[in-house]
Every structure is written in structure tokens, then in C-alpha cells.
Amino acid sequence: MATHAHLPVEDLFAPPVRTLATISPDGTRIAYLAPWKNRLNVWVEDVDGGTEPRCVTADATRSVINYQWTDDPRWMLYTQDSGGDENWHIYRVDLDDPAAPAVDLTPFPGIRTYFELLPGRPGKAMVGMTKRTPLLADAYELDIASGELTLLAENPGKVAGWFASRNGDLFGYSLTTDGDVELSTWEPDQQALRTLAVYDGADYTLSIWPMVVTPDGKGLWLGSNRNPDRTTLVRLDVATGEETDVHHHPNFSIDPMGGVAPVLPQPLILSQRTGELLAVRYLGERQVIQPLDPDFADVLENLEALSDGDLGKISSDDTGNRWVVSFIHDREPGVTYYYDHASGESRELFRPLPHLDPEALAPMKPVTIRSRDGLDLHSYLTLPLGATGPAPLVLLVHGGPWFRDSWGFQPDVQLLANRGYAVLQVNFRGSTGYGQGFVKAAIGEFAGKMHDDLIDGVNWAVEQGYADRDRVAIFGGSYGGYAALVGVTFTPDVFAAAIDYVGISSLANFMRTLPEIARPHLANNWHLFVGDPNDPQQEADMLARSPITRVDQIRTPLLVVQGANDSRVVQAESDNLVEALRDRGVDVEYMVKEDEGHGFLNPDNVIDMYRAVDRFLAEHLGGGNA
């Protein structure tokens, strides 16, 4: 194997110099995240670069990852939790007074909040907040300037989430007692919900996304799974409950996870000024954007000409002329541009990781693997630069499991490839983006066919000559951590090393220790796919599929990584596993970070973790460039 430059862990996992840029509604300023005291914070500068950039948040404890401009150029909002506990608060920044500290607009202990701006009601936002009870979020209207919160709707006991029209009309997403999905509108005069539509929960809970209110408030744009092979876009009429088709792609689904985190682009591209639908994102091996508005089609053509990557985060001013866009790319991550459609001017604003040479990074290749029972497993393979024969392989398993791997830059993938490992990412059954039939093929298949798919991926990589069968590791976070533990308990002969990152060891304990607000809404995901731990027969099956009950099978070197404040997969999931192994005299490496939750965020912790990963795999797998 050809040698290549050794990339330090810090080069891949240090904070980006800038990232997640957006343009202000008036088109005069750009905001972005950049380091301040080694934590990402929000910075603002003029579009023309005429003023010195200034940091407008000042969190030296934990990186800020989610912010939004408001319609008033004075105010910006962002959310922050404490040490990864996911108790999000809403903060306001005064852009006219750089010295003023951020104001917590939801200063109530132990709460969780989320918000939506209301463009039709200037200066207002809809806030969902668990102030009254930790089990249920009520809906409030927030006056951004004064901070006043006005109760709009008290949760009647079943609403899992509120969302709003541009003018503040409220809608609710609920689960019925039968486990079906109910969409409702809130009738303020009656102080009650009116049902719009009910969907079979098994078909819709995992992918009735996106849910966006049309600009006139008379309809909802929804992801529909009437076609089991792909998710399409429909409009639900608020008055009649009738569905009409809006758009579909002949082969691909709407990007299933788009917009669920700040780093993931929205599946629907909307006009900043009017909220009208401009385009729809679909996701196959790579992204396809279908424009629905002829004016935006012209903009899109010019934007896509800026890079050979896929369009990532998109923002525009109210005129629709000034745009700030970033690109998804496997070797040139997050390159961000400014584009003025009126003048045709474009310029590169920044590269988040300018110290990385794209030629030193490994390309990510889409591949399709056939499962043993005939399913197409759409996957991604990254080979070390210069690889000419079988390499040690890291099977990198995504979380969720209702998520999917996709094409783009991943620092963990690049670290592994740089160290001489081939990296395989398998979209096993249960992964989203390939139709509801593919998702539902995972029902009852935890530690069963879902795991078979991963093993089939390993066998494919060996048979194709990419991987050395005797040097295969499994590494994953959350569900991927569970998969890693299943790997070393159910198929211990396959793997020479394993890394469990915030993974589940006991399915029953995991469900019982989820946050209170999450537990009432498990019917059509965890309970449907795995079981209800309150049913003794189902609990027994869940324990049979749990690594904690099979620790006597573990003989593979294991690294366990956990955040102490994890509210999804609590620390006990890792503690219990490590204790059981150490009681048997098995040496297991264990890293716990006291200021992290479900996945590490702070750069020093992330770097610490991947240094451990690098060393651990070098010791037990022996990459060609370790």
C-alpha cells in the first residue's frame, strides 16, 4: 500500500474556522459559527466585509450549534443546553449592544424548549415548553423584544409536538391510544384540538416528515408513504382533510432526516419572504434538488455551478437575490459561497477546514450490496489512498437506527482511511430514505436480520478484495454502539476489535430510562420494532437481543465511550456492561466525559476520544499507516 501524509487527529476534529453561515433577512450581514475560547459561538460580519467580525455569543463552556436571525435586525435567537443534557433554553442576543450578555428567555429549571419564528407576526415566535410538566410541552407565544411568554395552548395530554403557520395558527402532532399518528389544528375559541387526519402509526410515525404549514395556513406539506418504495410530498387540506400530490421523484425519497439538526439541510426549500415552496430535496446515492419555481430554477442552476459537491445549507435575504450556501462534499467539506442573483456576482466566503488538502483525503464511493435474503443495501465504501489489496476494515454503523448514511465529508471516516483502514457504511434494513417497506423490514429484527445485513456487508468487502477478513473492527454510536456490542456478543468471531460509543447494552433498561417526555411516544418506533418492556414475554425477547445478557461471549478487545449527561442512552447502559466484563476479569477500555451527553460536542473531548480510537485500533487492528 502506498504511504501518504499522516493527518493529526487535531486537524480533523478541531473546530472549523467557520461553519453554518446564513445571511440576514435584510441582506446586509452574515452570521456563522466560529471558535471563541475553543467553543463554537455565533459571529456576525457585514456582507461586504467592511467591518471586523465580532462574536455575539460568549459561551466558553459548550459550543453553540443552533441560531436564527429574527425579522428585527437587532435580535438573534439561539438555543443551548447544559453539558449535553438536552434541556434546551432559548437565548436572545442584542446585536446593537455587543457588550450586553445573552438573555435566557426561558429561565425555568429542568425544562425543554423549541421555537419557530412567525414571519406573519413580526417580533413573535411560537415556543413549545415543558414548564408545566416534564411529560408534555405546552405552546406559548414569545415576544422576542420583551421576553413575554403568553400561553396559547395547554397540552391536552397527547400532543408530542406543536408547529405553527407563518401567522401563528397552531397545529399538533399526536399519537392516539391505538398508536396511530394524528394531525390536528388548535381551535383557540374552543381551546381544543380538531383532528385533520389520522395515519397508520406503523406507516407514518418514522417518516411523516417534513411537516410544514403552507404560507396561507390552509394546508400542510407532508411526507407521504402511500408508495412503500419512497417518500413523496403531499398537501393536506386543513378544511377538508383531503390529500393531494405535490411532487415526487421517480426513484428517490425526500431526504428523510433533512432539517432535524442544524447541520442537515432542510428537505423543502422555501422562500424567505413568502414561505412558498421553491424546491424539494431528494436523496439517492447523492442529492437531487427538484426546483418547482421557475425563478428559483435559474438561481439553483447558478448555485450548483459553484461546486461539484451537493448543495448543503441554503439561506437568502428577503428579496431572494442574495444567497449564502454551503456544499456537501466528501473531500472539500462545507465550502461556503456568497451569490448575488441580481448582479451575478459570486465569491467564496470560507472553507471550514482550510488546512486540509482535498488530495490528502479519501473519496467516498457509493456501492450496493445484496443481502442474503435479497434486499439491496445501499452503502458507502471509503478506501485508503493508494490501496492495492485487502486492507483492515472498519465497519462504521450509523445511529438511529431510523437514520441513514449519505455521501459527504466525515472526519471519523477520513481519520480511519488515513490510517490505512477501509471504511464500510451499510444502510441496513431499518435505515430511512429507501421507502417504508425497507424501514419495516427491521420490525423484530434487532440482533437478527439487521445485524445479518452488517455481516453481509463485511463478507461482500472481503469477497471483493477490499478487506482482510482477519482484521475487521466494528464501530458505532447510539444504535451503532448497540450494533457494535451485538457484533462482539452474537458474532464474536467476525471482529478483531469493537468500539461502542454511547450504545445500548440493555434494550429494556434503555426504554425505561428514556426521558419522561419521550416514553409515551414509543408505540410505533421502539415498541413496534423491539417490544414493550412492561410485557414480560416481550421483555424476555428484548433481553435475549441485548448484549448485556451475553457478556460471557465477549472476547474481542472493546473500547466503550460514554457521556455522563446522556439523557437518551444513560450512563448505566455503559457502566453495567463494563462492570459485568470487569467482574469476569475481562480488560475493557472505558472513557466517560462528565460534561457531555448523547454524542460529544466540545472539541477537546472529541479530540480526546478519537485519539483513543486511533490508538486502540492501531493496537488491535494494525492499520497500514497506524
4-39 burial, b if ≥16 CB within 10 A, otherwise e?
A: beebebebbbbbbebbbbbbbbebebbbbbbbbeeb
566: Cβ–Cβ under 8 A, 6 or more apart, which residues? 84, 502, 596, 597, 598
CA 499 to chain centre: 20
Q: What pLDDT is attached to residue 49?
A: 82
Is pLDDT above 90 for 228? no
Is pLDDT above 90 for 201? no
Say if 114 falls within a structural domain. Answer: no
Is pLDDT above 50 for 72? yes
Average pLDDT over residues 175-195: 91
Q: 3-state DSSP: the chain helix, strand, coil percent, rounded to 5? A: 20, 35, 45
Q: What pLDDT is attached to residue 281?
A: 95
Say if 1 falls within a structural domain. Answer: no
pLDDT in tens, 134-149: 889 999 999 999 999 9
pLDDT in tens, 252-277: 999 766 766 677 789 999 999 999 99
Say if 85 falls within a structural domain. Answer: no
| Residues 311/289, Cβ–Cβ less than 8 Å | yes
Catalytic site residue from 24, 207, 478, 506: 478
In sequence order, what DSSP letters do the residues of 439-484 get, joined into one string? Answer: HHTTTT-TTTHHHHHHHHHHHHHHHTTSEEEEEEEEEEETHHHHHH
Which residues span the domain enclosing 445?
358-621
pLDDT in tens, 405-446: 999 999 999 999 999 999 999 999 999 999 889 999 999 999
- pLDDT-derived band at 3 (thresholds 50, 70, 90) equals low
What share of the chain in percent tops pLDDT 70? Answer: 97
Cell numbers describing residue 358: 482535498
Rounded Cα distance between 441 and 460, Å, is 21
Say if 415 falls within a structural domain. Answer: yes
332: Cβ–Cβ under 8 A, 6 or more apart, which residues? 307, 309, 351, 358, 409
Closest CA to 478 of 495, 503, 454: 503
Is pLDDT above 50 for 359? yes
Average pLDDT over residues 208-226: 92
Active site residue 143: no
Is pLDDT above 50 for 1? no
Is pLDDT above 80 for 189? yes
Rounded Cα distance between 325 and 302, Å, is 11
pLDDT in tens, 162-184: 999 999 999 999 988 777 889 99
Average pLDDT over residues 229-253: 95
Average pLDDT over residues 580-599: 95
pLDDT in tens, 377-406: 999 999 999 999 999 999 999 999 999 999
Amino acid letter for position 230: R
Q: What pLDDT is attached to residue 517?
A: 77
pLDDT in tens, 562-571: 999 999 999 9
Active site residue 598: yes
Q: What pLDDT is attached to residue 202?
A: 73
Q: What pLDDT is attached to residue 206?
A: 57
pLDDT in tens, 454-489: 999 999 999 999 999 999 999 999 999 999 999 999
Is pLDDT above 90 for 125? yes
Average pLDDT over residues 153-165: 94
Q: What pLDDT is attached to residue 98?
A: 80
Say if 525 falls within a structural domain. Answer: yes
- pLDDT-derived band at 2 (thresholds 50, 70, 90) equals very low
* 108: exposed, middle or buried (Cβ count in 10 Å: 0-12, 13-18, 19+): middle
pLDDT, mean over the chain: 94
Q: What pLDDT is attached to residue 109?
A: 93
Q: What pLDDT is attached to residue 455?
A: 98
What share of the chain in percent tops pLDDT 90? Answer: 88
Rounded Cα distance between 451 and 548, Å, is 16
Say if 579 falls within a structural domain. Answer: yes
Is pLDDT above 90 for 9? yes
Q: What pLDDT is attached to residue 205?
A: 55
Q: What pLDDT is attached to residue 207?
A: 59
| Residues 515/84, Cβ–Cβ less than 8 Å | no
Say if 352 falls within a structural domain. Answer: no
Active site residue 373: no
Rounded Cα distance between 314 and 302, Å, is 13
Cell numbers describing residue 290: 427538484
Catalytic site residue from 566, 567, 574, 620: 566
| Residues 284/276, Cβ–Cβ less than 8 Å | no
Is pLDDT above 60 for 496? yes
- What is the torsion angle, in degrees rounded to the nearest 10, for the CA atoms of residue 463, residue 466, residue 471 and residue 472? -80
Residues paired with 241 in a beta bridge: none
- pLDDT-derived band at 616 (thresholds 50, 70, 90) equals very high
Q: Which residue has the higher pLDDT, 98 or 25?
A: 25
Say if 30 falls within a structural domain. Answer: no
What's the number of domains the chain is made of?
1
Q: Which helix (H) or strand (E) holds 203?
A: helix 201-204
Rounded Cα distance between 185 and 129, Å, is 18
Lowest mean pLDDT among 28-32, 208-212, 235-239, 575-579: 208-212
Q: What pLDDT is attached to residue 204?
A: 58
Q: What pLDDT is attached to residue 511?
A: 96
CATH number reported for the structural domain that contains residue 599 in this entry: 3.40.50.1820
